[in-house]
Structure 1
Amino acid sequence: MTVPRWDGALLRGPVHGPLPVLLLVMTAATGLVDAVSVLGLGRVFVANMTGNVVFLGFAVAGAPGFALAASLAALAGFLVGALAGGVLVGRRGHRRGHLLRDTALVEGVLMVLAVGLLVGVTGTPGSALASAVAALLAVALGLQNAVVRRLAVPDLTTTVLTMTLTGIAADVRAAGRPVVTRRVLAVLTMFLGALVGALLVGRTTLAWALVPAPVLLVVVVAVLQVAVRRPAPWQAPPA
């Protein structure tokens, strides 16, 4: 009986090093941020642009409860973040650990700024403030999406789960246990992040509900700051 290898597939290993675990942490942060944006900023996604475009269509159609300005701000912010991510990839893409560290650091700063804008706000913020916060968060997640795309760790996009869920079902017989487990963990971490975000939105202010997201990113930065001190194969870009 062959025992599945877990190194490089899920935990630390020569192929991806600590990246899979750290991307799962970022996936949880994404779920939390989207929970705050959807429940607190007027039904707008800042990470899932598929959902945001659909919400934008609802808003244009005049459906009640959907914020046109916030959705447009999030879409524009996401594109700006993705553009910045492309620039960062061009400059730091040759070292994956450094690339993700710098990305998480910038994201954390943007999210702290968003928290600062929400300090003192109770209930749903006004249209201008909601749009500003949505734009800031979307820039952070657009940056993350562009960089994670470059890292190319299979099944860990950190923002979109459609193909991950498809793979769980479609490849259940062909994929090995580590692959299925990694996909399931991606779904679970997103779910848990959204769950925690929803609970916090219902029990505290939006500022406090958002705080765990930059805290998780600080953890990612701290781990990578230590990990990149020694050259390792996982630092090289995927072939």
Structure 2
Amino acid sequence: MLIETLSVFPEMFEPVMSTSILGRARKAGLFDFKAYNLRDWTHDRHRTVDDEPYGGGQGMLMKVEPIAEAIEAISSEGPKPTVVFFTPCGEPFTQHVAERLLKSERLLFVCSRYEGVDERAYAYADERLSIGDYVLTGGELPAMVVADAVVRLIPGALGDEMSNVDESFSTAEDGGLLEYAQYTRPAEFNGEGVPPVLVSGDHAKVDAWRRKNAIERTCRWRPDLIETARLTPEERAYAQDILDASYSQSKE
């Protein structure tokens, strides 16, 4: 996989793309990375990438011409990339979207700044994504977030191929639930101990506890996920009992 970024601050990416899991995966040849400077596709001495919006308003808007020229030039070499823009109008980024992007041989993240981009630039978008309902100063951080989520799904990136299966939001065996609670040494801290089942040595009981705990935690912290989670009829009834009890307590 080739991951590329188009930005006015290309230097932001290298520390992230060469560190920890991403760095090891890149060094192992599991993916390659290139960062492009959008200003390389400008044609004035000031290397201008923004201008005032038609109709007035606050801030500056990124011009369509440099973006279009850059995407066309980058796309002309090698396989056509999946071009990803970040915008509040985009599809919410989820684990499912990360798994979809993983199928791309080449990803090009277009990182906007200022008040956004000229609407006509979106004609080049294959994907429009949003990582949340809040305002950032640019698209570089969202690009890093998405790149991290995608790279760790590449076979071999984590070393342990099962590491992706047992995590929150995975669409694999956990059915879209939050991950169960986990503990390590010491066995007791500030008067709180580790659940006895986890030190029982009974793997069947441990698995059952983890599944039940994942349902409980999802009901408590992300009840919106329960509706689409893959649960047995018994598990769904258990989850509903928890949700009903929580609703009753909130009314008291």
- Select the structure of larger CA radius of gyration: 2
TM bucket normalised to smaller = under 0.3
Where is the helix percentage greater, Structure 1 or Structure 2? 1
Q: When you count strand as a share of all residues, which structure comes out higher?
A: 2
Larger relative contact order (Cα-Cα within 8 Å, sequence gap ≥ 6): 1
